[in-house]
């Protein structure tokens, strides 16, 4: 089966990155595409794990060399998906999990329309939960928090365009739901490369068995007395 892209989007603070991390740890068929960003690392983040943290100059060079599948600006910083990351995971036969912003998701969906991709929008269980999650980040200033909340409003308006909506109330449940979506998508008829051959082989086997049964019944049928 050909690997497909799993696009995971959400307002900042809804928990999509945590969901992505859990999926990658628990599924061998999913690989995480590490994005490039110009923002500074948060506490505990390491370069090459959550993101590739690069300068604005380097990011601009990537854009000019057409090495980004998509890019978008969020809260004053740039984020982008490296084409090399997607290819690396596809070569490994893994579904490519993308933790990206709404703008970038639209760009990728235009290049990878279904069934080449599946898009999932993650919602927080309530406005208060989203605000509390953002406030727990030590990197968020008051101005930054306001910008993220304003951005969340515009992002929520884009949610109906996505293939699936998942509410991240309980993390384990949300991770399980996204996993079930991936499993269901793997079984789509469009993704089965040899479906026609499988159906023809099955049909032929059933026809042969039916013919054999008819032959046995005819042979075993007693002769009529004249």
Provide mean pLDDT across the span 178-206: 83
**DSSP label at residue 42:** P
Q: Rounded CA gap, 146 and 12, in Å?
A: 12
pLDDT per position as a tens digit, 43-58: 888 999 889 999 999 9
Beta bridge partners of 47: 51
Residue 126, helix vs strand vs coil: coil
For the question of whether the overall pTM of this predicted structure is more than 0.85, the answer is no
pLDDT at 226 over 60: no
Residue-range domains of the chain with CATH: 5-191 (3.40.50.300)
Residue 145 CB-half CA count within 13 A: 13
Provide mean pLDDT across the span 114-140: 86
Longest CA–CA span in the chain (Å) reads 103
Q: Which residues contact 12 (CB under 8 A, 6 or more apart)?
A: 74, 75, 134, 148, 151, 152
Residue 197 CB-half CA count within 13 A: 3
pLDDT band at 215 (very low <50, low <70, confident <90, very high): confident
- 76's torsion region: left (phi>0), alpha (psi -120 to 50) or beta? left
pLDDT per position as a tens digit, 135-161: 876 666 778 788 888 888 899 999 999
Task: Count the neighbouring beta carbons within 10 Å of the beta carbon of residue 151.
Answer: 16
In 3-state terms the chain splits into helix, strand, coil percentages (rounded to 5) of: 50, 20, 30
């Amino acid at each position: 089966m050909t690997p497909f892209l799993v696009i995971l989007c959400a307002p900042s603070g809804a928990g999509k990155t945590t969901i992505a991390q859990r999926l990658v740890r628990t599924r061998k068929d999913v690989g995480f595409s590490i994005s490039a960003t110009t923002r500074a690392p948060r506490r505990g983040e390491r370069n090459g794990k959550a993101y590739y943290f690069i300068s604005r100059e380097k990011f601009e060079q990537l854009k000019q060399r057409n090495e980004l599948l998509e890019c978008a600006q969020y809260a004053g910083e740039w984020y982008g998906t490296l084409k090399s990351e997607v290819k690396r995971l596809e070569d490994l036969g893994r579904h490519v999990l993308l933790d990206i912003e709404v703008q970038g998701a639209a760009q990728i969906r235009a290049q990878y329309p279904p069934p080449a991709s599946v898009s999932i929008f993650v919602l927080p269980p309530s406005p208060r939960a989203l605000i509390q999650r953002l406030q727990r980040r030590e990197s968020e200033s008051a101005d930054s928090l306001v910008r993220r909340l304003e951005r969340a409003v515009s992002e929520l308006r884009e949610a109906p365009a996505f293939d699936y909506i998942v509410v991240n109330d309980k993390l384990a449940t949300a991770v399980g739901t996204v996993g079930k979506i991936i499993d269901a998508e793997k079984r789509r008829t469009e993704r089965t490369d040899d479906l026609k051959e499988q159906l023809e082989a099955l049909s032929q086997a059933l026809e042969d068995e039916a013919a054999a049964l008819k032959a046995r019944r005819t042979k075993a049928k007693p002769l009529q007395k004249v």
